[in-house]
A = this chain, B = another copy of it.
Amino acid sequence: MFLGRVIGSVWATQKESGMENLKLLLVQPIHADGTDAGAQVICADRIGAGQGETVIVSRGSSARVLINKDSPVDAVIVGIVDSFEYRH
């Protein structure tokens, strides 16, 4: 999993089966100090994350099975961060 910041939303009408009724957010992976940490990811969100919030993202089969075993989703927001502390 990684830390990310919600930076936007994506809409698609024409899509594959299993993509219906999913809220898709654009997430920028970040380091703990708030700087960008690589390429943006489109995540399914079922827990109500909002623009600018810091979130935890899970990827791959871990994201897939959360939605359901046959889902085409490979990235999901799994937590909205209340706080974190770090000392690099």
Contact = CB atoms under 8 A, between A and B. Distances in A.
Contacts of A77: 16
Interface residues of A, number: 64
A38 B48 CA distance: 29
Contact of A79 (B15, B37, B56, B80): B15
Contact of A61 (B24, B28, B60): B60
Given A73-B62, A85-B9, A3 B26 contact: yes
Given A10-B84, A82-B11, A84-B8, A66 B2 contact: no
Interface of A: 1-3, 7-19, 24, 26, 28-29, 31-32, 37-43, 46-48, 51-52, 56, 58-66, 69-88
